[in-house]
Structure 1
């Protein structure tokens, strides 16, 4: 059974309101669900001593962002077109058999939508999109390691990859940018066999899930 993203958004709480409640009771329920929902940033970590210091400075403690091109980027600063990852785990009957934990995020679209996070099975690049975008690709299962880092299929073979053309993209977005723009990849082959474009740089990283600060609760008299 295929259920669209719009219907999914109506079924679960998101960072943005999915609709105006029809009455005060519904509004109270929606607010309560929204307050209880755990949402996460993704922060990249690089602890490998073999990585050159100038590269490590670009990806260690950097944030994961989404762009309108459907790609997922890593950067130490926010460019005008990208927005921080803002999502959480989500189970859905439309997921692949045996996959009980998908990963959804709020998109940079106008208005923002709740979208899937998935691994492109051809390029090994992480992307975001709707139901049709993720068909034929890998959308989980995602999970948490004991140390709080993100896993895919139980592994943490995340990679930061820098393409030459991303330097031009970054310069156009922010000519004053001093650090690199990287893309998020995952080595699903377990043997570091990701086929990258000629000249692309890659770094093994980990992804830490960091909770958004909870909104303060307001008492009513």
Structure 2
């Protein structure tokens, strides 16, 4: 059964949440018709420490909740439109908008309308279209909570198409170094080795199913390893 929701409290931002049980098909087209809004950059925020939890004496157990949540921007919407967005065998809920940033994502996760909708593992695929600061990622981590297993997907662009993306990737790796239950999928490494995965603009995915499948597939490998064994503290860099 599929569910499709537009969140009234955040409708002005064009933020959308959708759930697919089993992830066998994509939801109806309204997801891809969300309205865009200006990029909200938080790069001028004063830095503060990333929220962390004390390292456990033993590795954390895999999450009992097998549902997956996916927080993403235009790349997530593109993968959905091409029919690639899925977490095989798991219920997938995604929270998306074309230029979603981490601070807005934190508000979305914390919204009472979404209570109980966030699964045991959350994918964060942000930072391609809007910079992310330590303040905004801290807000998102606090909204998700310390028990949440995370898969952080770095931006992947051609050359220096979007100069802030390398800083986002470095921030994700820093989070993974200090936060248990966190993995990093290094999409930049993958596109450096396979530039045909990107469109001619050097930012979005190539308009074919194989590129979207490669992006989603790399993430799903990390998701599945989360449920097989406890995720490592150090980042797993896909494609190395």
Q: What is the TM-score with the length of structure 2 in the denominator?
A: 0.23
Larger fraction in strand: 1
Q: Greater CA radius of gyration, 1 or 2?
A: 1
Q: What is the TM-score with the length of structure 1 in the denominator?
A: 0.25
Larger fraction in helix: 2
